[in-house]
Amino acid sequence: MAEPTSTKPYLLRAVYEWCVDNGYTPYISVLVDSETRVPMEHVRNGEIVLNIAADATSHLKMGNETIECTVRFSTVAKELRIPVAAVTAIYARENGRGMSFGLEEKEAAREAGGEGASAPTDPKDPPKIGRKPALRRIK
């Protein structure tokens, strides 16, 4: 039987829609890697936080594999391409409500140095990735 698709892109779209419906500003936190296309001058500690509200982006496409859009940084339009697997959180700027995500299995393997298939982990004992996730409010 084929592996089911990830629930992550569906949850991202749901929280995004919830933010928009309630008048909140949706932000995503992204772990930047070689597949992530974002302005590197705005990356801090391997992470970038992005406003993905309709008035901050154009041509936003939240697919099952990638999030793509055009945004302006210092009046310069930039094309962003973000793998869904690299998104670590989505939340409302105004109240911090949203959802954070652990690294997906293939991301965790790449973080661990590309080791082969790992043994299933006990949900009560999540894998250690070296630093704890954190949400930051950007004003």
Q: Which residues form the domain of 90?
A: 8-102
Judge whether residue 113 has pLDDT over 60.
no
Residue 62 inside a domain? The answer is: yes
Residue 55 inside a domain? The answer is: yes
Q: Which two tokens stand for residue 112?
A: 């661990």
* Cross-sheet strand order for the sheet of 76-83: 57-62, 66-73, 76-83
Residue 124 inside a domain? The answer is: no
Q: What is the pLDDT of residues 1-18, one digit of tens each?
A: 678 889 999 999 999 999
Residue 77 inside a domain? The answer is: yes
Angle in degrees, CA 127, 131, 137, rounded to 5:
120
Residue 113 inside a domain? The answer is: no
Judge whether residue 131 has pLDDT over 70.
no
Structural contact between residues 57 and 48, judged by C-beta atoms closer than 8 angstroms: no
Say how many CA atoms lie within 13 Å of 1 toward its Cβ.
Answer: 2
Residue 126 inside a domain? The answer is: no
Q: Say whether pTM exceeds 0.85.
A: no
Residue 25 inside a domain? The answer is: yes
Residue listed under structure tokens 């949706």? 26
Mean pLDDT of 11-29: 96
Structural contact between residues 104 and 118, judged by C-beta atoms closer than 8 angstroms: no
Structural contact between residues 119 and 105, judged by C-beta atoms closer than 8 angstroms: no
Residue 88 inside a domain? The answer is: yes
- CATH for 52: 2.30.30.220
- Domains identified in the chain, total number: 1
